[in-house]
């Protein structure tokens, strides 16, 4: 009986997706919120916010992610709105991934509230639906949180399956099910197809995932490049990507951004924000032991127009001061004098510190060497006192995880 679930040459992949995660965590923390329309919004008291997530009770009124808070309140006058508490979400995420790791070491977190599991070698624990039921029940019993689980022979199909029944769903999606379960879906419901890609596909007559699966690959590549062939393969259930527990460490950039309490043209306020963002990026770079050779600045204006500008550097950097100087130069060079709504600083072109060979020449050796003494002193004091004693002087708010897109902590469940 088990052999039908565990093929000799194939794989069995789970995609575990927490349902309405932020709202569910808040309801688990405060049971009086259960069964009520609840929305989590960024800085709801400071300015007109955007819905980050909402409970299923709120969704019945049409409240959706990214919807302006004012519109959500018009749709649902009884809506309860809360600001996010990311440390609470981080703790819940860590405990959730621990439960997954009790089943198999092949767990790949992809965000704070979802991850893949490869249970191909778990036949001794029961059938895949039985294992999924136990995982779902443990998460519900121990954390008071709902989740949906997709079961499939590869990651793409598992991801699509987990979306098919929410909340608390378990869905099996085999390749023989594609024509009936997957292909009739509108093209924009396919994972990996955003609104712009869907628009391009519709222009060549592709309305459903089935249309994509049968479309000539040459025309798809002409419209979408190599991604056209990749999407066609996925639509046909082809996806060879393994579940990689170490993939969380493969990051291309480290960045953070913040929406300002009020739109501003004040140079001093801009400098303060960019310095704070640079400090946060430095902390995360140091945790990952990486250096950067590219700095990017994001500016979003009062009318939501967003521009990004970056600078490639001749040498690797890792200090907040260097990040700040480059970011401020980018701001000075590219700001159009209009009120600023959001700022972001990102370090990219990253390399492991231990692998970087700094090519010092006669012109920069003295400067670099003197900085290294300072960094060494700070490191020694940090190790002695458990924190950087100088960072608190310039930035009284300790950097913390404040977005689900920061993946630095996703392997915490292994500790």
Q: How far apart are CA 369 and CA 378, in angstroms?
A: 15
Per-residue HEC secondary structure of 167-181 comes to CCCEEECCHHHHHHH
Neighbours of 358 (CB within 10 A): 12
Are the beta carbons of 268 and 392 closer than 8 angstroms? no
Using the structure block, give the residue that is written with the tokens 């999606």. Answer: 173
Cis peptide preceding 177, ω within 30 of 0: no
User: Is position 114 annotated as part of the catalytic site?
Assistant: yes
Which parts of 31-133 are beta strand (E)? 38-41, 51-54, 80-82, 107-111, 114-118
CA angle, 238 as apex, 149 and 178 as ends, to 5°?
60
Q: At what angle do helices 21-29 and 86-101 cross, to 10 degrees?
A: 100
Q: Which of 298, 303, 309, 320 is nearest to 393 (CA)?
A: 320
Residue 267, annotated as binding a ligand: no
205: phi > 0 → left, psi -120 to 50 → alpha, else beta; which?
left
Q: What share of the chain is helix, strand, coil (3-state, %, to 5)?
A: 45, 20, 35
Q: Which of 83, 85, 71, 11 is nearest to 44 (CA)?
A: 83
Alpha-carbon Rg of the chain, whole angstroms?
24
Beta-sheet pairing, 340-352 with 51-54: unpaired
Neighbours of 232 (CB within 10 A): 20
| Residue 113 marked ligand-binding | yes
Q: Give the integer Cα–Cα distance in Å for 60 and 110.
A: 28
Region of 126 (left: φ > 0; alpha: ψ -120 to 50; beta: rest) is left
Residue that the structure tokens 């999407």 belong to: 231
> Among residues 114, 199, 229, 250, which one is catalytic?
114
Local structure of 5: helix, strand or coil: coil
Provide the annotated binding site for Mg(2+): 17, 113
Q: Which residues are catalytic?
A: 114
């Amino acid at each position: 009986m088990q052999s039908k679930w565990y093929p000799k040459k194939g794989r069995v992949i789970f995609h575990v997706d927490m349902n309405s995660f932020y709202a569910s965590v808040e309801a688990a923390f405060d049971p009086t919120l259960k069964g009520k329309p609840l929305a989590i919004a960024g800085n709801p008291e400071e300015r007109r916010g955007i819905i980050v997530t909402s409970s299923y009770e709120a969704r019945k009124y049409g409240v959706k992610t990214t919807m302006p808070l004012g519109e959500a309140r018009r749709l649902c006058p009884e809506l309860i709105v809360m600001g996010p508490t990311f440390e609470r979400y981080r703790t819940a995420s860590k405990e959730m991934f621990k439960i997954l790791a009790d089943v198999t070491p092949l767990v790949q977190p992809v965000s704070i509230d979802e991850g893949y599991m490869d249970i191909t070698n778990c036949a001794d624990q029961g059938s895949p639906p039985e294992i999924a039921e136990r995982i779902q029940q443990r998460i519900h019993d121990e954390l008071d949180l709902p989740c949906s689980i997709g079961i499939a022979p590869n990651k793409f199909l598992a991801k699509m399956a987990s979306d098919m029944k929410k909340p608390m769903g378990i869905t099996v999606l085999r390749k023989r099910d594609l024509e009936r379960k997957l292909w009739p879906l509108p093209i924009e419901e396919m994972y990996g197809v955003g609104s712009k890609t869907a628009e391009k596909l519709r222009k060549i007559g592709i309305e459903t995932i089935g249309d994509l699966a049968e479309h000539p690959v040459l025309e798809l590549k002409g419209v979408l490049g190599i991604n056209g062939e990749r999407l066609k393969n996925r639509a046909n259930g082809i996806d060879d990507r393994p579940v990689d527990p170490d993939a969380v460490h493969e990051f291309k950039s480290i960045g953070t951004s913040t929406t300002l309490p009020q739109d501003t043209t004040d140079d001093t306020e801009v400098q303060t924000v960019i310095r704070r963002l640079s400090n946060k990026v430095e902390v995360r770079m140091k945790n990952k032991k990486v250096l950067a050779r590219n700095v990017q600045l994001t500016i979003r204006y009062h009318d939501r127009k967003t521009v990004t500008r970056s600078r490639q550097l001749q040498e690797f950097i890792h200090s907040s001061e260097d990040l700040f100087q480059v970011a401020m130069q980018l701001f000075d060079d590219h700001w159009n004098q209009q009120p600023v709504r959001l700022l972001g600083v990102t370090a990219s072109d990253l390399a492991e510190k231990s692998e970087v060979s700094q090519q010092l020449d006669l012109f920069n050796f003295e400067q670099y060497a003197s900085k290294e003494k300072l960094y060494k002193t700070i490191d020694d004091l940090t190790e002695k006192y458990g924190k950087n004693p100088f960072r608190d002087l310039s930035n009284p708010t300790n950097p913390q995880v404040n977005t689900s897109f920061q993946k630095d902590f996703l392997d915490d469940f292994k500790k």
